[in-house]
A and B are shown apart, each in its own frame.
Chain A
Amino acid sequence: MSESLTFHYDVDGEDFTSAGQASVQVKKNLRRLGIAPDIIRQVSIAMYEGEINMVIHAGGGEADVIVSEDKIDIILADHGPGIADIELAMQEGYSTAPDSVRSLGFGAGMGLPNMKRYMDEMTIDSTVGVGTTIKMTVYLNR
């Protein structure tokens, strides 16, 4: 494919039960495009962690997945509280999620480090009180 394809999703922040629906859809779309299974899994996991984060911390947000010839970009944007200390947030095990979230199986402080682990590149742009935008890239044909 010579042109890029963009998939846009609104992530509903009200409902924890439905969190992850966008990731499931992304997975289906990437399968349809014939992307390699290991890449699909990497993208799906990173996107799913991001989606869960947006629901837990930011009251939802927007996700764009851009599939180009040589890479897949994921852009997650929210208007939540922002991340005060990104370096701290990137540490495995550090979490500001309440216990109620931990009882749902999340909030172990693995989300952001996990996203970075599965992606080739990741940048976090966050302003307290304004919101957070995370850009992630995985390269194809490696």
Chain B
Amino acid sequence: MKISTIRDLLDAKIVCGEDMLDDDVFSACGSDMMSDVLAYVKDQAVLLTGLVNSQVIRTAEMMDMVCIVFVRSKQPTREMIDLARDHGMAVLTTDMRLYEACGKLYVNGLVGNGTVKHE
């Protein structure tokens, strides 16, 4: 799924990484606990979260993620945006809640960890 499709499905605004809108991502995860992201996530490219602090960006960087979606209208700080830009990540914000945002992406083909979605 292209990052531009994520933006459209979630009615999201792109905060940084406009040049990555055409990039393809293949899986995602959603969590407000960075501990769980570090423990359970494997090869997901997109992180959806309602947590807003610099550790969200660093966690994503450690996991080689390329796109972060802040849900529930959460706004990343200037410092977080700069950090994300440094790491070459796209950052989006949406008014949707975590469950709804994950659901929209999932039914449109963006799977989670270890899940193969059949045609």
Q: With the chains together, A113 CA to B38 CA distance in Å?
A: 11
Closest residue on chain B to residue A21 by CB atoms: B58
Contact of A24 among B32, B49, B53, B61 (CB under 8 A): B61
| A-B CB pair tally, cutoff 8 Å | 68
A5-13, A67-75, A101-109, A123-131 - the one binding chain B: A101-109
Pick the most buried of B38, B39, B53, B59: most chain A CB atoms within 10 A of its CB.
B38
- Tell me whether A106 and B55 are in contact (CB under 8 A): yes
* 30 A-B pairs with C-beta separation under 8 A: A16-B55, A17-B53, A17-B54, A17-B79, A18-B54, A20-B54, A20-B59, A20-B62, A23-B62, A24-B58, A24-B61, A27-B61, A41-B62, A45-B38, A45-B63, A48-B59, A48-B62, A104-B51, A104-B55, A105-B32, A105-B33, A105-B49, A105-B55, A106-B34, A106-B55, A108-B39, A109-B35, A110-B39, A114-B35, A114-B39
Contact residues, B44-77 vs A (CB, 8 A) = 49, 51, 53-56, 58-59, 61-64
